[in-house]
Each structure stands twice: as C-alpha cells, then as structure tokens.
C-alpha cells in the first residue's frame, strides 16, 4: 500500500474535523463502524459531498484500499479500544480517533510503500 493513500485520507478527515459539522460522530460510532469493517463507508454516508473518498472506495488506484484500511483499523482496535484517552489523548471525537488510528497505521508502516 502506498503511504500517499493514507496521507490523502488524513487530509480528508482533517477537513471534516475542521468543518465542525461532524463533531457529533462519537467514538462509539467509530467502534461500531470498525466492528462492521465499514469506517470509510460510514464516513462517506455521514459526510456526503463534504468528502471525496472515491479514490479510496471506488478506484483501484491504491489496490483494494478499503479492505487494507479496514483490516488495519480492526487490528488496532483490538489493542486500543477503550484506552483511547490514555494511549492517544482522544476521548470525545470519533473523527479524531479515526485520524489518530490512521496516523498509527502510517507509523507502524506495515505493508507500506514509501
């Protein structure tokens, strides 16, 4: 997987946070989306035209990004869920959690092409 796929996603998530429109997305919402392996689809459903995830969901430009990303989130979830405040400093915002865990995927560097 190319790291640019993840950094582009970071920019999209950051934009959603900055808009202030999605501050009602909770950590619990993200936990449920991770459990269903549908975080990207959840974000697209909630944000609609405010986010363009087409390259992540509808394109093969980054291979099967959706499967890769959802699996990585699920792996992190197993070790961090319920400890977000202590480990990441996140306790209120589901979008901040997605941002932090996407950053964690980048830091771990598993299967990433730099």
Q: Is the pLDDT of residue 2 over 70?
A: yes
For 44-57, how does the pLDDT look when each residue is reduced to its tens digit (9 = 90+)? 999 999 999 999 99
List 113's β-bridge partners, or say none.
2
pLDDT of residue 114: 67
- Give the predicted TM-score (pTM) of the model: 0.92
**Burial environment of residue 24 by CB neighbours within 10 A (0 to 12, 13 to 18, 19 or more):** exposed
Collect all residues with Cβ–Cβ distance below 8 Å to 30 and sequence separation of at least 6: 39, 42, 94, 97, 98
Q: Is the pLDDT of residue 110 over 80?
A: no
Strands (E), the chain: none
Q: Would you identify the CATH topology of the domain 3-108?
A: 1.20.120
Locate the domains of the chain by residue range: 3-108
């Amino acid at each position: 997987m190319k790291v640019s796929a993840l950094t582009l996603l970071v920019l999209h998530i950051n934009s959603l946070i900055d808009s202030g429109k999605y501050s009602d997305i909770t950590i619990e919402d993200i936990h449920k989306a991770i459990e269903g392996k549908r975080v990207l689809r959840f974000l697209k459903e909630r944000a609609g035209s405010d986010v363009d995830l087409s390259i992540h969901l509808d394109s093969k430009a980054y291979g099967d990004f959706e499967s890769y990303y959802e699996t990585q989130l699920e792996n992190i979830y197993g070790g961090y869920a319920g400890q977000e405040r202590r480990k990441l400093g996140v306790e209120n915002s589901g979008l901040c959690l997605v941002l932090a865990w996407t950053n964690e995927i980048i830091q771990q560097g598993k299967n990433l092409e730099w």
